[in-house]
Amino acid sequence: MNIYTQSEIDGIGFTSQRSRNRLADNLADKGIFNQKVLDVIKKTPRHLFMNSGLSQQAYEDLAVPISCGQTISQPFIVAKMTEQLLHTKNLNKVLEIGTGSGYQAAILSALIPEVITIERIKTLHQKAVDNFYALQIKNITAILSDGDENIEKHAPFDGIMITAAINKIPQHFTDLLPDGGTIIAPIGETNKPQHLTLFTKYNDTLSEQILLRVQFVPFLQGIA
């Protein structure tokens, strides 16, 4: 795997810096206030996390199909989840569940010292690993796992972001957090609107704040 050239990262036309700036302005209009998040959106080449045939849509505020029936999340949702997670005190290490394209992990890695991201589909995991290398992002550890294995040894995490729809937060994820730690996740059934929810752990229980309605692909068990 080669390292991307600066002109590949910069993009051209639909994938140019001007398109990234326009996306950030669009997100600000839609209510993303955190300037650090908007600056990272401007810097991160989303077109390199998508199939090149779809890169015309890279800087539209849309979820776009990647391989294996999965999607790269809508930029507004990526920005919103990131902005919410950044409210966590002492946010030094985060776990993302659902690497997918790796775009969300790349955004987190520009704002948080250490990112662990897990993905259950081997093809997507490998592609994301290659992309992190090509972009020379060094503070992401990508793991092939469905969340039941191989993550405890990296715990505790200050925050957890789940990017697939889940009915309920499993207790073993809560156990990976310290007091004051947060989880942001789309809660609800597949094929129905879910609620993006921010959980904060106090005295071993989670308090919850429902943020908005969203639509994510399902959280599934096992490696594929």
Q: Which residues make up the interface to ligand SAH (CB under 6 A)? A: 70-73, 97-98, 100-101, 103-104, 118-121, 124, 146-147, 163-164, 217, 219-220
Q: Which is nearer to ligand SAH, 9 or 105 (CB)?
A: 105
d(CA 115, CA 206): 22
Active site residue 73: yes
Q: Give the Å distances, CA to CA, from 21 to 10, 62, 162.
A: 12, 16, 27
Sign of CA dihedral 140, 141, 144, 145: negative
* Active-site residue, from 73, 101, 109, 145: 73
Q: Which is nearer to ligand SAH, 83 or 119 (CB)?
A: 119
Long-range contacts at 169-172 (CB < 8 A, ≥ 24 apart):
169/199, 169/206, 172/148
Q: Which is nearer to ligand SAH, 181 or 186 (CB)?
A: 186
DSSP state of 117: E
* Residues 96/114, Cβ–Cβ less than 8 Å: no
Q: Which positions are catalytic?
A: 73
